[in-house]
Amino acid sequence: MTPASLLESHTRFLFFTGKGGVGKTSLSCAVAIALAEQGRRVLLVSTDPASNLDEMLEARLSDRPTAIAGAANLFAMNIDPDKAAEDYRTRVIAQLGLDADDAEKATVREQLSGACTIEIAAFDEFVGLLAGDAQEFDHIIFDTAPTGHTLRLLSLPRAWTGFLQGNDRGASCLGPHSGLKMQEERFRAALATLADPECTSIILVTRADRGAVREAARTSDELRQLGLGNQSLVVNGVFFANGQGDPVAEGLARDHAAVLANLPPDLASLPRMEVPLRSFDMVGLPALRALFHEETPTTAVTVLPDTIDVPDLAAMVDDLSKAGRGLIMVMGKGGVGKTTVAAAIALGLVKRGHEVHLTTTDPAAHVSLVVNGSLDGLTVDRIDPAAETARYVEKIMGTKGRDLDQADRALMREDLASPCTEEVAVFHAFSRIVAQARSSFVVVDTAPTGCLLYTSPSPRD
């Protein structure tokens, strides 16, 4: 596959997904600009709570299509989770009808205050674009959040459909069930559009890195299970050594070539494009236009002196070690190296004689891939949403449901089948692990910043 073949896509929707930091935004912007310059009206949409489309395009964006200066036919927008949630609350409360009093409306608004509401409301905005809310555009390109968060969003319609079947009574954190059932067909239609190869192209983005490739393979499989099979693979930032004599450059080129030669079979079978590592930062229209064009090699490189004087990681671990216990949360944008740093801190503390629990809240859960082995004093695990939800349900059924009759127990179990239960269960698990910091070290490799801030419940939720 070549850049030209990617730009010849006949599908209206292009869906870029991949691990944080692999270059989804750069590639989606470059494709959007190229399609717009072919005379097509293009809307570029970020579904990432930590979107940096504004910086890449050097434009001030909102939750409505904004024309990009210097790129005719190109418009861009960010889905604003908070505003989407407020709009969603307004629509649900409006469904209560004229007979609803202020107390009923206040109750529903309280039910719609959780992080789960923000997730489904943001997905609802995404669904609207798939359902025809932007008919004036020839192409709509989605620059998504890192894969763990994106897969969770894509799985929500199926989860809610199962929960709502035969369940018209009561309410959940998304409002009255009768109102939710009105959305069911809309969500189904959106997934059908994503699954239709005549409508949607799924572009898996990775780097020539073993961890990123493993996640791309897992994502490819999970997307297929959701019925999204029209996939292609873009390997971004492939390094080719220019000349000899630089052992780092030669080693990196060899490593990239080895990764590409040993792609998992499911990925190797996909149409593939390789984008070379570029020497310039991907910010601004000129840089994004140049991404798919060959670079002119430089004849000389000026090496700047190392004038940075900051403590190294070992010194930081020495400082952390002095406390003897505590919670260490490693945060940041997707792809900056949170997992590597979290693992290095954990191993450093163990080597200094401490008991350490290394865990992750990231749905993509890379930490076990980085720490591949065992070490006395180190516990490595992840918060598994499915396992924690099952544990939480059984705990509630065994306590609050213990003295209920069979009919009421069945109703309680039905309510606990709500996808919102997962949010509560994961937070309970997180709280349980954090409590260990009173007597030992707990190192948490968190989800990418935006996903962490929007999906972590607060104690009041």
CA angle 255/256/261 to nearest 5° reads 100
Residue 308 domain flag: no
Please tell me the predicted confidence (pLDDT) of residue 455. Answer: 45
Last residue of a domain, one of 255, 290, 325: 290
Please tell me the predicted confidence (pLDDT) of residue 419. Answer: 61
Please tell me the predicted confidence (pLDDT) of residue 215. Answer: 85
pTM for the full predicted model = 0.70
What phi, psi does 384 have (nearest 5°)?
Answer: -90, 110
Neighbouring-strand partners of residue 172: 175
Please tell me the predicted confidence (pLDDT) of residue 136. Answer: 92
Domain match, 35 and 126 both: yes
Domain match, 372 and 240 both: no
Residue 197 domain flag: yes
* The two structure tokens encoding residue 347: 């191993």
Q: What is the CATH number of the domain that holds 404?
A: 3.40.50.300
Contact 332, 304 (CB under 8 A): no
β-strands 200-207, 139-143 pairing: unpaired
Domain match, 358 and 450 both: yes
Domain match, 139 and 244 both: yes
- The string of pLDDT tens digits covering residues 183-220 is 667 777 888 888 899 999 999 999 998 888 988 998 89
Residue 219 domain flag: yes
Please tell me the predicted confidence (pLDDT) of residue 274. Answer: 92
Residue 196: which residues within 8 A CB-CB, separation 6 or more? 230
- The string of pLDDT tens digits covering residues 108-137 is 777 777 666 776 777 778 888 888 788 899
* The two structure tokens encoding residue 424: 């509560």
User: What are the CA-CA distances from residue 60 to residues 38, 54, 69, 75, 196 (Å)?
Assistant: 24, 6, 10, 11, 33
Domain match, 231 and 379 both: no
How many domains, the chain? 2
CA angle 187/190/196 to nearest 5° reads 145
Residue 298 domain flag: no
Q: Which residues of the chain have pLDDT under 70?
A: 1-7, 9, 114-116, 119, 146-184, 243, 297-311, 362-373, 418-420, 448-461
Domain match, 376 and 277 both: no
Domain that holds residue 145: 3-290
Please tell me the predicted confidence (pLDDT) of residue 423. Answer: 73
